[in-house]
Amino acid sequence: MVYLDYNATTPVDPRVAEAMWPYLWELFGNPSSLHTYGVNAKEAVDTARAQVAKLLGCQADEVVFTSGGSESNNTAIKGVAFRLRQKGYHVITTQIEHSAVVSPCKFLEQLGFFVTYLPVDRYGMVSVRDVEAAIRPTTILISIMHANNEVGTIQPIAAISELARARGIFMHTDAAQSVGKIPTLVNELNVDLLTLAGHKFYAPKGVGALYIRQGLEIEPLIHGASHESGRRAGTENVPLVVALGKACELAATELDSRWAHVVTLRDYLYDNLKKMFGSRLHLNGHPTERVPNTLNVSFEGYTGQELLQKIPEVAASTGSACHAKSREMSHVLRAMGVPERVGCGAVRFSLGQWTTAGDIDTLLELLQLRVLPKRVRS
């Protein structure tokens, strides 16, 4: 088996698993308890919070632990909207956001909020001018992803944040697909809120964090006791929090070396696919401004499902449900204006730190044997 679906989820790094293991059994205390068991657990949570903060370049008390990216996005969007609804009721986002952003925005619309879904260009990039033109006196929040999960395009978050800050509008970015892959320092991005998800960079599923800039008050999504400084009720999941902290520590120290290797393999794959399929192969996403591990290409003349079914030894993704009875193209590719005949053949190959040259060669050999039409071979 060849695993090329790291944007969907990553395996847990053995060093991350090792760090969390003691808190599953020996150090099982509740971090809110005052006895030794609780003190040990709280120290572990504090250490993890500092590790996350170091990766993001923020203060530790600006990090709130959550159950993952979806909760962080919901907390950011609903939290700002509910706290500021007397000030304004307009939110700006894009047409290519993850459902964890789109769905809470749709929910807000049911409550009387107005949401503007901005278009993107053919590379999947939003225009800063379009953002500026969409701003109203009632705009309270702009939520735009840092890197797209399907095509990898990186958005001009710093420039958009500058617009937002000058107008007193809060800025949130869903960085689930960029944290651990490219620098995500919150002061360089100039954001007020940032989402990260542990299982996208070698921590387990079910844990994430939300950066909330100091001084920003939002309505909690989960009400209860005063955990997480009153911003997220519920006893902290200490083993998973420790795991997230360790994953952030590793990402902070290994970012450059980890992704230099991946870029080389990604470009090697693309170059060879171009040689094999020629004009039938189309790159989806920005050619340079994208995360280093993501290659989304369309194989014209196929559907993505058909192609992947021919090579079951390879784990990859397609966002389009195109087959004989249904031609539901990915909402991201549709927003980019990709023609249906091209978009239905889209496949996302996403690489990771354990991807090898042998994995890529195996994929290419399988495509040559089972997919490449004779007329293209000749």
Q: Which active-site residues does the annotation give?
A: 322
Mind giving me the DSSP string for 83-124?
A: HHTTT--EEEEETT--HHHHHHHHHHHHTT-EEEEE---TTS
Q: Which amino acid type is present at position 361?
A: D
**What does the CA dihedral 91, 93, 206, 110 come to, rounded to 10 degrees?**
50
Cα–Cα distance between 266 and 263 in angstroms, integer? Answer: 5
Q: Cα separation of 75 and 230, whole Å?
A: 13
3-state secondary structure of 188: helix
The alpha carbons of the chain give a radius of gyration, in whole angstroms, of 22
DSSP 363-376: HHHHHHHHTS-HHH
Number of helices (H), then strands (E), in the chain: 15, 14
- What 3-state DSSP class applies to 53? helix
Q: Is the dihedral of CA 39, 45, 48, 54 positive or negative?
A: negative
Burial of residue 279, with CB atoms counted within 10 A of its CB: 0-12 exposed, 13-18 middle, 19 or more buried: exposed
Tokens linked to 131: 């953002």
